[in-house]
Structure 1
Amino acid sequence: MRPFEYVRPVEPEQAIAAVTADPKTSFLAGGTTQLDLMKDGVLDPERLVDITRLPLKGIMHADTAVHVGALTTMEELAADPLLRERLLFVREALLLGASTQLRNMATIGGNLLQRARCRYFRDPTVGACNKRNPGSGCAAIAGIQRMHAILGTSDQCIALHASDVAIPFVALDAIVHIQGQGGPRSVPLTQFYLPPGTSPHIENVLEHGELITEVEIPLLPEGTRSHYLKVRDRVSYEFALTSAGVALQLEGNTIREARVGLGGVGTIPWRAWGAEEVLRGAEAVEETFRAAAEAALEGAQTLPGTAFKVELAKRTLVRTLETVAGAHS
């Protein structure tokens, strides 16, 4: 790791000004991903602005939403009793997203901004990585592809977005509140992330120096059932091969409202709009769930190492829908 300057402001305006003024300066929160990337030589900021003393921590309940400060840890949010009552799949995603030790360090804002888990991005000895070196190519396309994306990909990048909690967040239409030198703004999480296209190195709509201050999580209507299912190679501390976050509002056996997010398959946290359209107004039966899964994976682009994910993702979604609808205990 190269030497760097370290500062710790106590006001958001100070932190924002420090980062905005210098392209080689970065924010530091929990650091559970960032410090690893610095040690590996993938990131090399000349100065880190530690934001952990900023007043951006806490959980506030409102009538229609939970407002979560960006520095609130994953463990603190998972422990909030309202999540168990009204946002169960958010709590499940948080608990499945990391070990207890990491959940006590990792922040909600940092989790949403975590970098790609692509082995080629994280190895600076690999020259071909458009995310790290724009225009250099994508080693993953001709390399080991198993942990890569099949939705939202391009011929420039197939890197996967690995956040678990972002899946129910996008399904809920969560809103990210942002502060920069130009003032505050709010962006729906479904519009926050950018698929790679021809610019894989631009991952979201944040400008340099802008800071996530809060995440607004809409509450599901009372009685809505939800579940997050994560399929992975091992039970403990592993990233998803596929995952699904589902919320259903049922009236008898009819699905009145559906929200579906998919993980382990997208270059961004994936909102399965097509699946939701199939589910709304339909009967909560296996035939409906399988049709929704087909719609969710429509347009998937696979390579030899990722072809298995299409069927696995469909089965993951069907199982999650069955669980939420009460077919499984």
Structure 2
Amino acid sequence: MDTATHITMGVAVGGLATVDPAVQQDPALFQAVLIGAIVGSHAPDFDTLFKLKDNATYIRHHRGASHSPIAVLLWSFLVSGVIFLFSPDVNYLHLWLWVLFSVFLHVFVDIFNAYGTQALKPFVDKWIAVGFINTFDPLIFVLYIAGIFAWLLGADPRYTFGIVFFIVFLYYIKRYMDKREIVKLMENYFDDVEKVITQPTIRHNIWRVAVVTKDQFFVARSEDGHVEIKDAFDRMPLPDTTEMNAALQDANVKSFINFSPVYRYEIDRFDDYTEIRFIDLRYRAKDRYPFVAVVTMDKFYNIITSYTGWVYSEDKLQKKLEPLT
């Protein structure tokens, strides 16, 4: 989820916490829980600070260990502990439980978009990305905002946010059913389907889809049950060559491959250098694939420059590479 939705969800959890008699009867505890729920609902995304180092570190670690079961516990103790330092008279157990719930909810809802999380790390390193809720879903955001406004106008937060969360729950079920229909549609449309990766858009009737078959990758768009194939690529394994093995040792390429479940590659050889480009097929936008990893090397296979990230034009990509050459 995006930051705005996580924060409004935290407010909703703070309001829902009034179902707890201890929170409802103690204004100081209520204030502590509300602050804790808001901070806790965003805390796992503090790993965004990795971006200050470089894109490779950010892509490799964002929504990784910070979203693991161990991290959920650590975030809950950290956030509730800091708040307790300033409000030592409140009931710590109730404060911690509601902060724990808000942190858990953050991680839980993140698995439903296409980006996903490593929510089972360190037990399982696999990225979990169910892919049926957009990173920013207007309906979910509006529901939380409506609940907050109703609360400000005097509505009982217990019933208000109970209803909001129930509607969001039903909406998730509906979107899950939508995804199932998309997957069935793709499995009926293509032969030898091995994997279907869905990416919902803000418009509920439009989906971006990457399909992996035995011999090809297909990039498609589904709108109102109709499939439009945008691109098709032959499925080629990574060659076991010196230049490819050199590229695979680069930190940017490692981060890209660790994150991307479906990608293709291109190799371009020039007089003075070789460029290998890895292209994620999930994020097609305006006839481009913006999420890439690019590495260039000299004739002795020494890395000259590399980059990974989202770039929406070739000119911008070259500018990203130029300062490194």
Q: TM-score, normalised by structure 2?
A: 0.27
Asked which structure has the greater RCO (Cα within 8 Å, sep 6+), the reply is 1
Structure whose alpha-carbon radius of gyration is higher: 2
Greater helix share, 1 or 2? 2
Q: TM-score, normalised by structure 1?
A: 0.27
